[in-house]
Structure 1
Amino acid sequence: MHKIAVVVDSTAVIDKELFESNDNLYLLPLQLTIDDKSFKDGIDITPSEFCSKLNDCTNLPTTSQPSIGDVVNLFEEIIDNYDYIIYITISSKLSGTFQTGMIVKNQISNDKIFVFDSLFTSTIQKQMVLKSLDLIKSRNSIEDILKELENIRSTSKIYLVVDDLSHLHRTGRISLSSSSFGKLLNIKPILCFEEGEILLKSKVRTMNKVYTNLIELINNDHLTANSKIIIAHANGYDFALKLKEKLLEIYPENTILIEELSPVISVHTGVRSFGLSWIQ
Structure 2
Amino acid sequence: MAIRIVTDSAADYTKAEIEKRNIICIPMTVSFGDEVFTDGVDLEKEEFFERLKNSKCLPHTAQPSPASFLDCFEEAKTAGDTVIAILISGALSGTIQSAQLAKEIAQYDDIYIVDSCHATLSMRILVDQAVIMRHQGVCAKEIVAMLEKLKQRVTIYAGLDTLEYLYKGGRISRTEANLGKLINIKPVLTFTTDGSVVLCGKQVGFRHVFKQVLQLLEAAPPDMDYPVYFIYSGDKKNCVKFVQYLMKQTGEFEEPKLRGIGPTIGTHIGPGAFGIVYVRK
- TM-score by length of structure 2 reads 0.90
Q: 1:247 to 1:229 in 2, by over 3 A?
A: farther
Aligned equivalent of 1:219: 218
Q: 1:87 to 1:168 in 2, by over 3 A?
A: farther
Equivalents in 2 of 1:110, 1:78: separation in Å?
9
Aligned equivalent of 1:190: 188
Equivalents in 1 of 2:20, 2:214: separation in Å?
35
Aligned equivalent of 2:19: 20
2:141 to 140, 143, 147: 143
Aligned equivalent of 1:260: 260
1:10-159 equivalence runs, <5 A = 10-23=9-22, 25-159=23-157
Aligned equivalent of 1:7: 6
1:116 deviates by 0.6
Q: 1:88 to 1:255 in 2, by over 3 A?
A: farther
1:228 deviates by 2.7
Does the 8 A contact of 1:122 with 1:261 survive in 2? yes
Aligned equivalent of 1:234: 233
In the alignment of these two chains, the number of paired residues is 275
Secondary structure of 1:86's aligned partner: strand
Aligned equivalent of 1:181: 176
Moved more, 227-236 or 253-262: 253-262
Q: 1:240 to 1:131 in 2, by over 3 A?
A: same
Secondary structure of 1:91's aligned partner: coil
Please tell me the root mean square deviation across aligned C-alpha atoms, in Å: 2.1
1:8 deviates by 0.6
Equivalents in 2 of 1:192, 1:142: separation in Å?
29
Amino acid at match of 1:185: G
Aligned equivalent of 2:272: 272
Moved more, 158-167 or 259-268: 158-167
Equivalents in 1 of 2:142, 2:80: separation in Å?
17
| Identical pairs, percent | 25
Does the 8 A contact of 1:163 with 1:273 survive in 2? yes
Amino acid at match of 2:40: G
Secondary structure of 1:211's aligned partner: helix
Cα deviations by residue, 1:167-191 (Å, 9 ceiling, x for unpaired): 245446x4x47x8535423311111
Amino acid at match of 1:252: E
Cα deviations by residue, 1:4-61 (Å, 9 ceiling, x for unpaired): 00111001011322332344x1110000011311111111111111111223334321
Aligned equivalent of 2:159: 161
Structure 2 gap segments, 5+ residues each: none
1:253 deviates by 6.3
1:82 deviates by 4.5
Secondary structure of 2:30's aligned partner: strand
Q: 1:57 to 1:31 in 2, by over 3 A?
A: same
Q: 1:251 to 1:279 in 2, by over 3 A?
A: farther
Equivalents in 2 of 1:62, 1:278: separation in Å?
28
Q: 1:182 to 1:167 in 2, by over 3 A?
A: same
Cα deviations by residue, 1:181-210 (Å, 9 ceiling, x for unpaired): 354233111111112111110111111001
